[in-house]
Amino acid sequence: MRVDTVSTFDIVLLTLAAFCTSALTAVVGAGGGTALIALMLQMMSPAAAIPLHGIVQLASNTSRAWMLRRHMAWQIVLRFVALMPFGVALGLWLFQGLPTEVIQMLIGCFVLLTLAIRQLKSLVGKDLPLWAFVPVGFVTGVLNMIVGVIAPILGVLVIRKDLTKERVVGTLSFFGFIGNLLKIAGFTLIGFSFEQYGSLMLAMVPAAMIGTRVGGALLSKLDEKWFLIVFRAVLVVLAVKLIAVDGLLKLLA
């Protein structure tokens, strides 16, 4: 696979992005992973951004899943992972056949979708049947390989009346752990060279883990209402750029 050139300046910016987006997730609960993939796509192609994003997210999800291992909702987890490897295989096959511009458009559309889904509070009051997590796991495997992050939508689906907050967060962390682990394995199988980006990973992974721990202290004094408005506005701008500028304009050129 083609290797993107990553400058020292890019490494500094992406390391800062990993720190800030992890801090964001620690404060408001979600959204950091979506912001990070959108930012990474401003500096590299989806073929590099999606697997590298998986590495960074695997680190944070693994530590969170380990801390909350006693709170897993295994009746959901086991159903979720049953067909996920098959979804990953299909997603990987689709990813290799899609033009870069189309993938960027899909990611941009998915960013907008996640912002919209989080506003649909009525969905939270309806529990998803347990059997439905089997097809959800399959679809997650497919989308994880193409758009990189679907945690915001999974967060809406996992919230249930019979689960405590700790069990919801722990279960979502395991979803992130297994999803990113399979994503990394899939891209490794098709020849993606993670070692080519060793310097970037060595900088971003610790930054993300530190950001998770100190995010609350750094951002707790911000007015969360206005902060979220600005954050969502930035995500909308990035998503529109991915769709219109990086996608449509290049396809039509």
Name the pTM for this structure.
Answer: 0.79
- Which segment of 77-81, 84-88, 133-137, 160-164 scores lowest on mean pLDDT? 160-164
pLDDT band at 181 (very low <50, low <70, confident <90, very high): very high
The whole-angstrom separation of Cα 117 and Cα 158 is: 13
Q: Is residue 1 part of a domain?
A: no
pLDDT band at 221 (very low <50, low <70, confident <90, very high): low
Q: Is residue 2 part of a domain?
A: no
Can you read off the two tokens belonging to residue 193? 């060279």
Q: Is residue 23 part of a domain?
A: yes
Q: Is residue 192 part of a domain?
A: yes
Q: Is residue 163 part of a domain?
A: yes
Give me the domain span that covers residue 55: 8-252
Distances (CA, A) of 194 to 5, 53, 166, 223: 13, 11, 33, 39
Find all residues with CB under 8 Å of 157, minimum gap 6, and list them. Answer: 128, 136
Task: Give the chain's domain count.
Answer: 1
Confidence at residue 185, expressed as pLDDT on a 0 to 100 scale: 93
Confidence at residue 191, expressed as pLDDT on a 0 to 100 scale: 87
Q: Is residue 164 part of a domain?
A: yes
Amino acid identity, residue 221? K
pLDDT band at 15 (very low <50, low <70, confident <90, very high): very high
Q: Is residue 173 part of a domain?
A: yes
Which range scores top for mean pLDDT: 23-27, 41-45, 228-232? 41-45
Q: Is residue 3 part of a domain?
A: no
pLDDT band at 27 (very low <50, low <70, confident <90, very high): low
pLDDT of 51 above 60: yes
Can you read off the two tokens belonging to residue 156? 């809406």
- Which segment of 79-83, 130-134, 243-247 scores lowest on mean pLDDT? 243-247
pLDDT tens-place string over residues 150-175: 776 777 778 777 888 778 878 888 88
